[in-house]
Structure 1
Amino acid sequence: MTRWPTKPLEEIAELYGGSTPSRDRPAFWGGDIYWVTPTDLPMPDEGISVVSKTKDRITQVGLDNSSASVVPKGTVLFSSRATIGKVAIADMPLTTNQGFANFVPHSEVTSRFLAYALWFHREDIARLSGSTTFKEVSRSTLRKYHLPVPPLAEQERIVKLLDEADELRKLRAQADRRTADLIPALFCEMFGENAKKPHVRVKLEQIAEVVSGVAKGRKFNGRLPVEVPYLRVANVQAGHLDLSEIKTIQALPEEVEELALRKGDVLLTEGGDFDKLGRGAMLEQDLPNCIHQNHVFRVRVEQSKLDPVYFAKFLLTGEARRYFLGCAKRTTNLASINMTQLRALPVLLPPLSLQREFAARVSDIRAMQAEQAASRRRMADLFHSMLHRAFQGEL
């Protein structure tokens, strides 16, 4: 229990809503009034942002013909529908769409303290949206929501400590993003256009086995299937496998024996949305008796000719992406490749020693990434501990 008095939001801030002028009226758009939507803000777990620019602007006529209001610099924006809990502070006068509750603080609370308080309580506030499919916390509910209100000097002290901790957290995240760029940069350095020697290209079918998987919902005509884990399209991301949820499928014992995945196999998606076309990653661990669905291809390379780490990263290059997009069967917003097209993929094939050198350096980078991830978790834990203590009056 906090040692400070709590007050409803309606007593410490004025609440304003937003609106969207008609998109059918060109005169309402392209003006000089900044107009914010939730997509302008980072996801809730990334912390508090500052809005200094927006994708869209509206005109005074557009404002006059909507229920939106211009709110001043220092207003705290809180996304109150769909993705609830994005928090930002306006760095200039602006207006928003209807996805926000906008709080203009009274003199007894600072903008940054209010922003931290809303962000800390965002999950509790989100639960007030109820269990409907479309989540929304009403303005009347928000007005009655209580927050602790310490003296201004204490608010400023808390904000200073939290800002310092949050800055360290964000610097760690920036360093992690830079590290994530190292592997593509290394590939370009070793094998790109500026590489010292040109490399040959061979069709994938000459240096790897390519097979499809099993379909769900098949009939087995009296034969007895077994239930086994399998990887589906959702598990195969660009550059990594998401193994957080592995579902099961029925297959015949001989299929399991034939299709069982091994460490070092590379999995690719046949398509769907354009971003899923030829998306691939290498399996970095053993998954006993795990197979794959028919919308995923398994590539098992001849490791005496092609290193699987190198091949998985080659799939992320513009060259591979252009090949898949060029030969894919397309419909509106969808594209797919078949096994014949995948087997014909021209693979850049440097000397095996160079591929293995690349794989070793990738391993070093991943070790560094693992250390950074552990550091990031420690910083996040420290920051959230400080938040908890701050709003319990213990910081």
Structure 2
Amino acid sequence: MTVRDLPFDAVFSDESGGNIKTPQSEYSEHGRFPVVDQGKALIAGYVDDEARVCGSGRPAIVFGDHTRAVKYVDFPFCMGADGVKVLRPKIEADLKYLYYFLRQVGLPNAGYDRHFKYLKRITVTLPPLPEQRRIAAILDQADALRAKRREALAQLDRLTQAIFTDMFGDPVRNPRQWPNAAVLGDVADIVSGVTKGRRLNGIEVRPVPYLAVANVQDKSLNLSIVKEIEATEDEIRRYRLQKNDLLLTEGGDPDKLGRGTLWQNELPECIHQNHIFRVRLKSDQVHPVFLNWLVGSERGKKYFLRSAKQTTGIASINMTQLRGFPLLVPPMPLQLEFASRLEHLASIRSGQTRALEAVDGLFASLQHRAFRGEL
């Protein structure tokens, strides 16, 4: 079997030019033609203008110049306005094979700099066309398994949201008329965390793990990278996290206000930085799991958007606004039942997550072997 190694420019034609680009401000939620930009999602929005369809609707690979995202697009689409590179083969080659090849290329991460210049320096390995199609078919099957696992996890997330609404009703309208006179400051102690770069004036310190904004996701933690900070024993005592502390980010994108999760002693000792609020319940009126979901619900989002300070697309809330968050207080037995249901679903989700990790590992192995000629 003859395998060729060709420079990028000998394989790919950059067909980005000559197309009408669609700025994000013109995206619609529905329309005749999808818009593909450099974001993570395959489809970013829709437009109705047929004149914007890229390259007569022929299949293409879309590369995000800033994001390094690689997408296979086999339907008529319109280009996003910034950082979109549309690639098609200029020689006889299988487009899906080329897509998988580009996905496994390790480009340097230059932040929001442009990355197409790095992509153009690569060498493309091309086995004969039938072998390209065979490899693409195998990777397609493995990728389809990954997609099914991810969809199963998404279904579990939707089920959890449905359970919340079914048990408590719409938290914005409160049709079941749960008591709503209390605010968060009535039932919880709320503090912000330790400040980086503060003056310690020679006081003895020791390193301790601390949570930054990137660690706190919507109802989950990302502990892949946990940094340490030098802190005094008094600071560690004041800011040390305890089981069922609700962690909320101070700010970020407006649609992410109220983002937070519960701490479940994932680390034996950990504190938090000042851009994260720690909410520690001091009342038995509210269950921490219910509180997490209430704060992250539409009720929370609407309240924080009304209250937040917004500058250049970034929104932030302060301690006073968080303390003033208007609660709903359903009966505790109902809150306990909700927490029990979520615990059961979390067990199922954990199994699905492990299965996805196994499939991801299989895909990475297949991909590695495929482009080393070992598949």
TM-score strictly above 0.5: yes
1:242-294 CA-to-partner distances (Å, cap 9, x unmatched) read 22223333443223222221111111223344245332211012544422223
| Equivalent in the alignment of 1:383 | 363
- Letter of the 1:217 counterpart: G
Q: Structure 2: how far apart are the matches of 1:94 and 1:311?
A: 42
| Equivalent in the alignment of 2:117 | 137
2:196 is the alignment partner of 1:216: yes
Q: Structure 1: how far apart are the matches of 2:368 and 2:163?
A: 41
| Equivalent in the alignment of 2:317 | 337
| Equivalent in the alignment of 1:73 | 58
| Equivalent in the alignment of 2:128 | 150
2:252 is the alignment partner of 1:252: no
Q: Structure 1: how far apart are the matches of 2:250 and 2:113?
A: 32
Secondary structure class of the residue paired with 1:366: helix
| Equivalent in the alignment of 1:87 | 71
| Equivalent in the alignment of 2:220 | 240
- Letter of the 1:337 counterpart: I
Q: Structure 1: how far apart are the matches of 2:148 and 2:211?
A: 35
**Would the alpha carbon gap of residues 356 and 385 (structure 1) be closer, same or farther in structure 2, given more than 3 Å must change?**
same
| Equivalent in the alignment of 1:164 | 141
1:174-207 CA-to-partner distances (Å, cap 9, x unmatched) read 1211112122211111111499953212222222
Overall identity of the aligned pairs, in %:
33
- Letter of the 1:6 counterpart: R
| Equivalent in the alignment of 1:199 | 178
> Alpha-carbon deviation of 1:298?
1.3
> Alpha-carbon deviation of 1:88?
1.4
1:82-128 CA-to-partner distances (Å, cap 9, x unmatched) read 33350314434877877425223544x333333333334x22xx36x
**Would the alpha carbon gap of residues 101 and 261 (structure 1) be closer, same or farther in structure 2, given more than 3 Å must change?**
same
**Would the alpha carbon gap of residues 248 and 71 (structure 1) be closer, same or farther in structure 2, given more than 3 Å must change?**
same
| Equivalent in the alignment of 2:270 | 290
Secondary structure class of the residue paired with 2:279: strand
| Equivalent in the alignment of 2:27 | none
2:38–2:65 Cα contact (<8 Å) kept: no
1:290-330 CA-to-partner distances (Å, cap 9, x unmatched) read 22223322111136322111111111111122222223344
Q: TM-score, structure 1 length as denominator?
A: 0.76
1:6 to 4, 7, 31: 4
1:338-376 CA-to-partner distances (Å, cap 9, x unmatched) read 323322222111111111111111111111111111111
Structure 1, unpaired ranges of 5+? 25-32, 43-48, 64-68
Q: Structure 2: how far apart are the matches of 1:136 and 1:180?
A: 36
- Letter of the 2:100 counterpart: Y
Q: Structure 1: how far apart are the matches of 2:275 and 2:40?
A: 34
2:165 is the alignment partner of 1:188: yes
Q: Structure 2: how far apart are the matches of 1:372 and 1:354?
A: 27
**Would the alpha carbon gap of residues 58 and 147 (structure 1) be closer, same or farther in structure 2, given more than 3 Å must change?**
farther
**Would the alpha carbon gap of residues 253 and 90 (structure 1) be closer, same or farther in structure 2, given more than 3 Å must change?**
same
Secondary structure class of the residue paired with 1:306: coil
Query: Which structure's CA Rg is the greater one?
Result: 1
1:71–1:104 Cα contact (<8 Å) kept: no
**Would the alpha carbon gap of residues 356 and 196 (structure 1) be closer, same or farther in structure 2, given more than 3 Å must change?**
farther
Secondary structure class of the residue paired with 2:335: helix
2:36–2:77 Cα contact (<8 Å) kept: no
2:348 to 327, 351, 368: 368
1:110 to 94, 99, 102: 94
Q: Structure 1: how far apart are the matches of 2:50 and 2:154?
A: 37
1:7–1:146 Cα contact (<8 Å) kept: yes
Q: Which moved more, 1:5-14 or 1:284-293?
A: 5-14
| Equivalent in the alignment of 2:25 | none
| Equivalent in the alignment of 1:66 | none
Question: What's the Cα RMSD here?
Answer: 4.0
Q: How many residues align?
A: 365
1:212–1:295 Cα contact (<8 Å) kept: yes
Q: Structure 1: how far apart are the matches of 2:267 and 2:45?
A: 46
